[in-house]
Structure 1
Amino acid sequence: MMDRMFNKLRNLDAYPKVNEDFYSRSLSGGVITLVSSFFIALLVVSEFRLYLHTVTDTQLVVDTSRGGKLRINFDVTFPSVPCTLLSLDAMDISGEQHLDIRHDIMKKRINSDGNVIEVRQDGIGAPKIEKPLQKHGGRLEHNETYCGSCFGAETSDDHCCNSCEEVREAYRKRGWGMTDPDLIDQCKREGFVQKVKEEEGEGCNIHGSLEVNKVAGNFHFAPGKSIHHSSMNLLDLLALQTESYNISHKINKLSFGDAIPGIVNPLDAVQWEQTSPNGVYQYFIKVVPTIYTDIRGHTIQSNQFSVTEHFKNSEMDHYRSPPGVFFFYDLSPIKVTYTEEHASFLHFLTHICAIVGGVFTVAGIVDSFVYHGKKALKKKVELGKLR
């Protein structure tokens, strides 16, 4: 019974064996074997390296997320705008506005050679004197409460402006522009004018981050402090400033969210030099939500973006747009997902088998041609057909 079963299994052998007495080994066969073995080793090593490396699967899906916040990271250098005069504003289509932003913002004063003079939290003015002027004249004594004048911008009888910035804020809410800080006691007392004059000829590096609504909007850097008037954003261009502003700038870094491995943002290290007088430089940015998942399963929810640029010369602008660098951003409805993954081990084994089997098959065909060719040649020589 067992012998019959073994005979049936023997008949299923797809690899019939040839007696060694019938083997014929040749020099050409040995050379072909060495060459084919080298190719097999080379291809196996290459395939193994590919197996160890991760592959990234990319997919496009519709972004159905709603609400949320968008973090904007920036690092911009203005070689010809002093830090005291440089302001940052942001607004979006939902109507939310952030004027003269200061939180999470750092400024570096730089000289004409690009060297850092001072690093400070955003803010202007010098420390106040111990006894400032009161609203109705006279000097403040230790037992009195100081209430500075808002110079016509008060909203009530008990409205006080105790600093230059509070006066500017009161003017901004009224929609007025502060034309001469020398006439404002608080500004004069805090040394605002003197500070601007001290920084004449300097530049400024401003870096930090903004957190805005996840809707279309813009943020901009401008020489001067913003005011709001009749739903239009203008600039309070101080009388002590010159009429022309050089908004040449270098964007050291600009990103929307966390960094994504392998992705280089298109505006990093971009530099622009102004060649004409006053103007507005505009960047129109399309933000693409992106989810990146690495091989360990760690997920980064961030954004990529594309950009187009435009410079508008104020001399040619009928409405005399205020000078500055504007970034207009909009969000794409399409989300990109990147997923790192390894090729499966079975896929790797399949490729190895294909390499070994394919190379040996091709080598066998070549060896067969060489062997039979030599044999036919030898036979013709023996018959005297070739000399």
Structure 2
Amino acid sequence: MTAQDLLNRLRQFDAYPKTLEDFRIKTFGGAIVTIVSGILMMLLFVSELNFYLTKDVHPELFVDTSRGQKLKINVDITFPRIACAYLSIDAMDVSGESQIDVDHNVFKQRLDLEGNKIDIEKKEDLGDKSENITAAAKDALDPKRCESCYGAESTAIKCCNTCEDVREAYRQKGWAFKDPDGIIQCSREGWSENMKEQKNEGCQMYGYLEVNKVAGNFHFAPGKSFQQHHVHVHDLQPFGGNKFNLSHNIKHLSFGTDYPGMENPLDKTTTIAEKDL
């Protein structure tokens, strides 16, 4: 048996015989069907591939039995009518733990009344960090000095070398911060002028808090806070009786670790205050 005979016998097993070229007719309608079929096959391929790559999220509710761990609260909130210098954030829970004037992992960005960022390259921690002292004034101060806390000294705070130190000492004593102009540190740092400069500004607060996994609350409010007779109080006396518009836009508010596809009910929520408080 020759090789040609072997090939002919092998061709008999072809399950897909070809039509002779003489019987093939190419038509315009056939071309349209071919193009449409190709497009449909491509769409089906892309659709099935996308379905295969899409994550399927199954919400599940269960009891958290872990102890001693912290819950992360992610925030990004804009206050278009109240300045950063006025705002503070506090967190409290039923276990008795309080975080007053939180300044760790939470930042503020000054905004103008149009919502545009001011000093966009500079991120400041919450609270008045007294960064307006001139270089000359800083050089003139003795780094080993121990200035007065104006009667608010304690075992924890014995020296108040900045206006913020005095405010913190007053807060821990539960005293109102009435006359900043009468305090040398505040006058030297231009605290009152800084408050007036930021009066017609807005503020964006963003970052995260770490709290106990128990019932509690956190809130943004003007003025430093302190505890007095088991009552949570915010000191507004340094602001001279000014009223504040607490309208705000919640860009993002979530609990725990974010993951793709997660929906947070308060995201992109805006609340407009009907009147100043």
Per the normalisation by structure 1, the TM-score is 0.53
Partner of 1:256: 255
- Measured in 1, the distance between the counterparts of 2:164 and 2:55 equals 55
- TM superposition shift of 1:215: 1.2
What amino acid is the match of 2:244?
Y
- TM superposition shift of 1:228: 1.8
Q: Is the 8 A contact 1:82 1:200 kept in 2?
A: yes
Partner of 2:158: 159
Q: Is the 8 A contact 1:108 1:120 kept in 2?
A: yes
Matches within 5 A, 1:75-224: 75-118=76-119, 119-122=122-125, 123-124=127-128, 125=130, 126-127=132-133, 129-130=137-138, 145-155=144-154, 159-224=158-223
Partner of 1:384: none
Shift in CA distance, 185/214, structure 1 to aligned 2, threshold 3 Å: same
- TM superposition shift of 1:131: 6.7
- Measured in 1, the distance between the counterparts of 2:208 and 2:186 equals 28
Shift in CA distance, 83/241, structure 1 to aligned 2, threshold 3 Å: farther
Partner of 1:297: none
- RMSD between aligned alpha carbons? 2.8
CA deviation string 1:74-98 (max 9, x = no partner): 0010111111111111121111111
Q: Is the 8 A contact 1:78 1:249 kept in 2?
A: yes
CA deviation string 1:26-76 (max 9, x = no partner): xxxxxxxxxxxxxxxx9xx79x94984665555444433333110011001
Q: Which one has the largest radius of gyration?
A: 1
Which structure shows the bigger proportion of residues in strand conformation? 1
Q: Is the 8 A contact 2:246 2:276 kept in 1?
A: no
Matches within 5 A, 1:226-265: 226-265=225-264
What amino acid is the match of 1:130?
K
- TM superposition shift of 1:152: 1.4
Matches within 5 A, 1:1-387: 49=48, 52=52, 55-118=56-119, 119-122=122-125, 123-124=127-128, 125=130, 126-127=132-133, 129-130=137-138, 145-155=144-154, 159-278=158-277
Shift in CA distance, 54/164, structure 1 to aligned 2, threshold 3 Å: closer
State the SS of the aligned residue for 1:195: helix
- Measured in 2, the distance between the counterparts of 1:105 and 1:59 equals 30
What amino acid is the match of 2:124?
Q
Partner of 1:383: none
Partner of 2:13: none
Q: Is the 8 A contact 1:177 1:227 kept in 2?
A: no
- Measured in 2, the distance between the counterparts of 1:131 and 1:62 equals 57
- Measured in 2, the distance between the counterparts of 1:62 and 1:154 equals 46
- TM superposition shift of 1:276: 2.4
State the SS of the aligned residue for 1:274: coil
Shift in CA distance, 121/49, structure 1 to aligned 2, threshold 3 Å: same
State the SS of the aligned residue for 2:138: coil
State the SS of the aligned residue for 1:161: coil
Identity of aligned residues (%): 46
Per the normalisation by structure 2, the TM-score is 0.73
CA deviation string 1:220-267 (max 9, x = no partner): 111111122112110111333443211000011001122233221011
